[in-house]
Amino acid sequence: MKTHFHRKDDSQIYAEDVPLSVLAKEFGTPSYIYCLSTIKAQYETLSSTFAEILPKDRQPLLCYACKANSNKAILSALRSWGAGLEIVSGNELVRGVNAGFDPDRIVFTGVGKTDGEIEAALKSGIHQINVESIFEISQINEVAKKLGMVAKVVFRLNPDVSGGGHSKISTGRKRDKFGLSANRVVQAYDIADTLDHIDAVGLSMHIGSQVFEVSAFERAFRKLPELVQTLRGKGHNVSRLDIGGGFPIQYSDESLLDLKAYAEWVRDIIVPLETEIIMEPGRFLVGNAGGLLTRVISVKETDEIDFLITDGAMNDLIRPTLYDAFHGIEAVKHGEPSKTYSVTGPVCESGDMFGHDRKLPDMVAGDLCLIKSAGAYGFCMASNYNSRVLPAEILVYGDKYQLIRPRQTLEDILNAEKVPEWVENL
Ligand code: LLP
């Protein structure tokens, strides 16, 4: 998998044409660094594979799942290359519209949407709302009625297929909270038929994220033709299929989804159903494009383990703690990997750990470390735990670079908090 982080001439690591030490000096650490060329290459890989394998009139609308990384600069870039957007909240809708996405290229997914979020989506002229429960049909109908509109919806099928790199990010098993069983989808269509403000136009599904076992996609796709036939047999309109995201990226040396095989399944199973095709890739577009740049605070030797304590921590990148996720870790400086470290942050939990038993050069306080493949579900899941401020984000493109989100300040945090008078005077 292509990434534009690379080591130049046995010296330090660069992000595209910019040495990481330059970025660390100018913007401080911990900081997220994103290589825009990687995002572009990933987008082009997806779109060109589908251009090659799927018929011209069945090209998918690639709706970027912006929960993966919703920085406005990244949204704007993806929009300019032709992406649509998948959103899961009213706030993501605002972000998308601000970044210039045409609402008719935005799909709204998620298992719980408030009336206010539904109203905003309908008013914006959103492409579709992906419905996940029988309750939601009447909820959306009521909101649309109030607005004098008709809501275009698709129903999310829960295909009862397990996929996803970790149980917490597997979404297509029948005991998961997502989607509707095939029977309930049919029921949902029947109900929609009786409602004046709902126009049911198709189906969606998303089986999970970082889907390793690639045949899981095929198994899930194979659930669609029969259901589509049943629905059409009852006179229902199925003109859109949104087949979700979940494309995996490389965190270590995983063998990856053969995109061509995926595209061939789409060609062989989905295309014959003659619908508009939508996909929702998130991680694949941005994951390998980003790294968390940290600086070593200290090296702590114990009887058992040498800990490398960096200024980045679990609040900046929660994935290792939350999902036992593996992220590659490299010293920015060049050197033979002669030492073994457990790389951690200063947060007061043993779970604050980026990785155990990592081979690195002899490290000293002040050295820089890059935590790799952190462009997806990195910054956007960061928190203020331990009153730590949110890290900065920097976008690099060739030799150009810019701060796209300044480091949060403690004032930002403290100014938002209020002490009631009746607490002051206790
Ligand atoms: N569509 C739906 C309905 C989703 O729920 C998701 C991700 C996506 C698309 C995008 O999936 P992707 O292409 O990125 O795999 N925080 C976790 C991942 C959570 C994914 C949630 N849903 C992690 O860090 O691994």
Mean pLDDT of 83-98: 98
175 contact partners, CB below 8 Å, separation of at least 6: none
CA of 336 to the centre of ligand 1 (A): 37
Instruction: Specify the number of domains making up the chain.
Output: 2
Is 426 among the domain residues? no
- Looking at ligand 1, which atom is closest to the CA of residue 246? 15
pTM over 0.85: yes
Residue 332 Cβ contacting ligand 1 at under 6 Å: no
* Residue 268, pLDDT score: 97
Residue type, 215: S
Same domain membership, residue 209 and residue 69? yes
* Residue 171, pLDDT score: 77
* Residue 1, pLDDT score: 58
Same domain membership, residue 386 and residue 340? yes
Same domain membership, residue 339 and residue 239? no
89 contact partners, CB below 8 Å, separation of at least 6: 110, 117
Yes or no: say if 15 and 23 are a contact pair by the CB < 8 Å rule.
Answer: yes
pLDDT interval class at 162 (50, 70, 90): confident
Strand 339-344 to 61-65 pairing: unpaired
Residue 68 Cβ contacting ligand 1 at under 6 Å: yes
Task: Give percent above pLDDT 90 in the chain.
Answer: 90
Same domain membership, residue 209 and residue 258? yes
Task: Give kind and range of the element (H or E) at residue 283.
Answer: helix 283-286
* Residue 172, pLDDT score: 75
Range from 104-108, 161-165, 256-260, 366-370 carrying the lowest mean pLDDT: 161-165
Boundary (domain end) residue, out of 259, 286, 313: 286
Residue 166 has pLDDT above 90, yes or no: no
Is 380 marked active-site?
no
Residue 281 Cβ contacting ligand 1 at under 6 Å: yes
Q: List phi, psi (to 5°) of 346.
A: -85, 0
Same domain membership, residue 134 and residue 282? yes
Question: How is 207-227 classified by DSSP, letter by letter?
Answer: -BSS--STHHHHHHHTTHHHH
pLDDT interval class at 235 (50, 70, 90): very high
Q: Domain of 223: which CATH number?
A: 3.20.20.10
Residue 160 has pLDDT above 90, yes or no: no
Same domain membership, residue 325 and residue 352? yes
Q: pLDDT: is 81 or 213 the higher one?
A: 81
Mean pLDDT of 374-389: 98
What are the pLDDT digits (tens) for 127-150?
A: 999 999 999 999 999 999 999 999
Residue 86 Cβ contacting ligand 1 at under 6 Å: yes
Average pLDDT over all residues of the chain: 96
Q: Domain of 311: which CATH number?
A: 2.40.37.10
Same domain membership, residue 150 and residue 9? no
CA of 181 to the centre of ligand 1 (A): 20
Mean pLDDT of 21-29: 98
**What is the token pair recorded at 223?**
């659930």
CA of 53 to the centre of ligand 1 (A): 25
Same domain membership, residue 77 and residue 17? no
Same domain membership, residue 239 and residue 298? no
Is 180 among the domain residues? yes
Residue 107 belongs to domain spanning: 36-286
What are the pLDDT digits (tens) for 296-319?
A: 999 999 999 999 999 999 999 999
* Residue 175, pLDDT score: 82
Boundary (domain end) residue, out of 286, 303, 337: 286
Is 423 among the domain residues? no
Cα distances (Å, whole numbers) of residue 216 to 64, 66, 99, 163 = 21, 23, 34, 6
Boundary (domain end) residue, out of 265, 286, 307: 286
* Residue 2, pLDDT score: 65
* Residue 10, pLDDT score: 76
Same domain membership, residue 259 and residue 232? yes
Is 422 among the domain residues? no
Residue 49 has pLDDT above 80, yes or no: yes
Q: How far apart are CA 158 and CA 161, in angstroms?
A: 8
